[in-house]
Amino acid sequence: MVRSPFDVSDDEDDPFSDRNYSRLVNRTEEVKNVPDPGHSSHAPSKTYAPVFNVNEVAKEPAYNSTTKAIPETRQHGALYKTLFGGRERGWPYFTYFVSLIQIAVFIYELVKMGIYTKTVFQTKPYFNPMLGPSSYVQINVGARYLPCMTVITGYTDNTQLEWPCPNSTSTSTDVCSLEELCGMGVGFSDGTPRQWWRLFTSIFIHAGFIHIIFNLLLQVALGSKVERYIGLLRFAFIYLAAGMGGSILGANFLPAGMASSGASGALCGACIAMNLILLIYNNNIDHYDPRLKGRGSRKLFVMMLIGSVVEVIVIFVLGLLPGIDNFAHIGGFVIGIALGTVLLDSPSFVYEEDGQTRKPAVFFTWIFVRIACLALTIAYFALLAKNFADKGAEASDSCKWCKYINCLPVNGWCELGDLSTTSS
């Protein structure tokens, strides 16, 4: 009789019968419970890694193209953090380096003033409220002064005109040539002033003790924190670019007879503008002090943000007073904001609350904003450089009302800075 393979069998000779299957299972359990003869009977049984709970695994966020991709923390070395940022402590090398240069240049100004006039403070023919050398010495050292940089019809091309000497202490001593006043040894090969590098050198020159002390306090106190946070390379680039941005704007619109010096443009861009950007970007005050790591006090953050905005307003209002180059402040601040947008990491509002997942619409909008800021920065320098190269001291004719950015139309303040010379 042929049996169906689906029939149940209890035949003892059949290895596939139910009875024999049960015996096999029981025997297997007995063997598993027999201790290993090479080990103690009291040896602990081997444990195995637990199986992950499927529900817990399912809770993990899936990777997508908008996730901020750093799956594991990476520890960078000290050199990397110095150059690219992320340090909480340590020397701000560029801040200290540029501060030492400015101090050395100021000492050189004082020495030169002492040699020329036997005093380091200008008191004649007028008093320097910044407590420092005369504007003539500043010009001779490298301050931004248009007659030394470009042709001014009726002035720089008139060999009969006499200019103040670096050692002048009265208007009756205006007996020097323009080349003697400008000094620096070069830039007058054919009698035409072409000392364009004053756009750069003026960043390192200061008008007096009050001027340099306030600038250094801001530079060391705030600039050092910003440099540690964003890195030496980005800070140095923004500092110099902002300084040049303020200088070239002033060269286009400042009165031709006004000498300008100082790092105010660089500080407005690299310190004040960058500080404001970091407050808004991070939505916290982490870059001020490592001890404030984390969200910190919300009240303190709001106070610092409001204080930074008020600081910007005060600087621009003070720039309306006579003798202050407000164009340098504005130009430096604008370049600082633009380059900060281009070079810094994306702000916190580009990401979800987890700080990792990007908001696609905001992220791509921010890319467009960065590209626009880069284009505007390039256009800013290109257009102002071309306007100054083509028109020289008459560059301000391109914008008649721009002079009111630098002065208030009272007491003849907007007429200050006109050229004053004598004929031989």
Q: What is the DSSP string of 150-187?
A: S--TTTTT-TTEEB--TT--SGGG--B-HHHHH-SS-S
Structure tokens at 86: 């992320």
State the amino acid at position 305 in one-letter form.
L
22 is catalytic: no
Please state the domain extents for the chain.
81-415
Mean of pLDDT values over 227-244: 96
Mean of pLDDT values over 304-327: 86
pLDDT at position 195 is: 93
187 torsion bin: left (phi>0), alpha (psi -120 to 50), beta (else): left
Mean of pLDDT values over 147-155: 89
Residues 262/326, Cβ–Cβ less than 8 Å:
no
Structure tokens at 4: 């169906």
Q: What is the pLDDT of residues 203-212, one digit of tens each?
A: 999 999 999 9
247 is catalytic: no
Q: Decide if pLDDT at 77 tops 60.
A: yes
Q: What is the pLDDT of residues 6-44, one digit of tens each?
A: 454 555 555 555 666 666 667 766 655 655 555 544 544
* Among 253, 251, 237, 261, residue whose Cα is nearest residue 338: 237
CA distances from 329 to 118, 324, 397 (A): 33, 9, 21
Distance CA 122, CA 387 (A): 35
Distance CA 151, CA 149 (A): 7
Structure tokens at 129: 């409220």
Categorize the per-residue pLDDT at 85 as very low, low, confident or very high, splitting at 50, 70 and 90.
confident
Identified catalytic residue from 264, 287, 308, 396: 264
Taking the model in full, what pTM does it have? 0.78
Distance CA 346, CA 337 (A): 14
Q: Which residues are within 8 A (CB) of 219 and not within 5 positions of it... i.e. 6 or more apart?
A: 95, 98, 99, 263, 267, 271
Identified catalytic residue from 206, 211, 287, 329: 329
Higher-confidence residue of 3 and 403: namely 403
Categorize the per-residue pLDDT at 87 as very low, low, confident or very high, splitting at 50, 70 and 90.
confident
What percent of the chain clears pLDDT 90, i.e. is strictly above it?
Answer: 40
Identify the burial level of 165 via C-beta atoms within 10 angstroms of its C-beta, where 0-12 means exposed, 13-18 middle and 19 or more buried.
Answer: middle
pLDDT at position 337 is: 97
